[in-house]
Structure 1
Amino acid sequence: MLNNLQEKFEALTQREKIIVIAAILIGIWVGWDNFFYQPSQKKQQTLDKELTSLKQQITEQQLTIIKLESGSHIDPNLNNRNKLAELKAEYNRLQELMLQGSKSFVPPHLMASALSDILTKNNQLTLIKLDTLPVTTLLESKQPQRLPIYKHGLAITFFGSYLDTLNYLAALESLPWHFIWESIDYRVVEHPTAETTIKAYTLSFKESWLGV
């Protein structure tokens, strides 16, 4: 079947070949945007809002705790002590919620193996390279007491057809953890083989680098 398609493609004029390749690229972009990028962006935006809200609550609780602790030696009383205990308990609860929120993402030290292992299981795809990206913070904050969130990214490049590439992305989406897709670069090398570079990242409260 592939030979028949290749023969039909070779029989086309140069202009027709360009139109076919352009249509394939547009189809790839639409498929990736609808099935992977947009859902991933919505997940990320929801998580960002939740984490930002939690961080704001934690900061407010910390400031109140500091205020009560600094004034406890001046006017110690039972109400203040009870309020302080409640705030500390709430602070610990919020910190735990933050940690639970990060568990839905693939752990940084497992990200490289997750991307490469699933790719090698697909005999139609060939791994070219797997590179780490610089660690960055998700949200910049001038308040040192806020818990930082770090982005750990990878760029994976491989050869394969359009359908095999989509199957690979679908396999990644079916994992119990999820990634945040940053970009995809799909370039036809020799029809139907293309070179694809995918950049993805995960979130963590730890800055330690992921192993590759």
Structure 2
Amino acid sequence: MSRWQQFEDNFGALPARQRVMIAIAAVLIIVLPMLSYVIMPDLEKASTLNTENQRLTQQIEQVSTAVEELKAEFDKDINEPLRQEIKQLQTSANNAQQSIERSEALQEVAQRKAFLNTVLNTSKSLKMQTLTAKEPRKVFETGSIALYEHAVEATFAGTYFETLAFVKELQSKHPNVIWAHFDYQVQSYPQGQVTLEWHLLSTDKEFISG
């Protein structure tokens, strides 16, 4: 009798429960190595591929987000802040222009000439010693708008009351002229000397002449 036949006889003599358990054990002995050498590597490979796919998916999402951000940046108008700043400057310049035009202190060319003629011809009692019209000086500028100061300085000889009458008359005729300096010095009582300086504002640089 061969060993295999003997094994079959012995196996057949065993109770059914033991035969089932031995059969299961035999199957496991055969299947487990297959799992280790065939199925498990495939499972591990599948897990690795799944991890790699997740990583690639994340990278794709990151790239897509970056592309959308770049697209949004390109869609922005890079000149918009500059345009807004220019618009604000233009508004400020227009407001300044309107304020200057409404200012009663501004003296046009004709008004400046009229003032100078008044200084020359008003007083019959005071004796003019010097009269100087200074070079116009720029005192303010915004954009294309500029404000100039025209200074006129004069020295007279006369009494205090003659000087006072002259000042009142000049203020009455030209109330918007700025009185920048007034200095009265007694020379030989009742005669004295007065030095006056006026400032006239304008938006042009034309020199004052009578």
**TM-score under structure 2 length normalisation:** 0.50
Contact 1:102-1:203 within 8 A present in 2 as well: no
**Residue 150 (structure 1) aligns with:** 148
Shift in alpha-carbon separation, 1:151–1:169, aligned structure 2, 3 A: same
Range 110-119 or range 160-169, more displaced = 110-119
- Determine which of 77, 92, 109 is the counterpart of 2:113: 109
Bigger relative CO (Cα 8 Å, ≥ 6 apart): 1
**Residue 102 (structure 2) aligns with:** 100
Larger Rg computed on CA atoms: 2
- Equivalent-residue separation in structure 2 for 1:100 and 1:149 (angstroms): 13
Alignment of 1:17-166 (within 5 A): 67=83, 95-102=97-104, 105=107, 107-119=111-123, 123-139=124-140, 141=141, 145-166=143-164
Shift in alpha-carbon separation, 1:130–1:206, aligned structure 2, 3 A: same
CA shift for structure 1 position 102: 4.8
- Equivalent-residue separation in structure 2 for 1:105 and 1:173 (angstroms): 14
Structure 1 residues without counterparts, runs of 5 or longer: 1-63, 71-83
- Equivalent-residue separation in structure 1 for 2:132 and 2:92 (angstroms): 41
- Equivalent-residue separation in structure 2 for 1:131 and 1:108 (angstroms): 14
CA shift for structure 1 position 178: 2.0
**TM-score under structure 1 length normalisation:** 0.50
Shift in alpha-carbon separation, 1:133–1:173, aligned structure 2, 3 A: same
- Equivalent-residue separation in structure 2 for 1:146 and 1:100 (angstroms): 17
- Equivalent-residue separation in structure 2 for 1:112 and 1:186 (angstroms): 21
**Letter in structure 2 aligned against 1:178:** N
Number of residues of Structure 1 aligned to a counterpart in Structure 2: 129
Contact 1:156-1:197 within 8 A present in 2 as well: yes
CA shift for structure 1 position 124: 2.0
1:211 is the counterpart of 2:171: no
Structure 2 residues without counterparts, runs of 5 or longer: 1-79
Contact 1:160-1:193 within 8 A present in 2 as well: yes
Aligned-residue RMSD, C-alpha: 3.3
| Deviations 1:26-57, CA, capped at 9 Å, x for gaps | xxxxxxxxxxxxxxxxxxxxxxxxxxxxxxxx
| Deviations 1:80-135, CA, capped at 9 Å, x for gaps | xxxx8xx989975763442231565473333311222222xxx3211122111221
CA shift for structure 1 position 185: 2.4
| Deviations 1:127-178, CA, capped at 9 Å, x for gaps | 1221112211223x5xx61511100011111111111111111111112542
Where in structure 1 do 4 or more consecutive aligned residues deviate above 3 Å?
Answer: 87-94, 102-106
1:174 match: secondary structure: helix
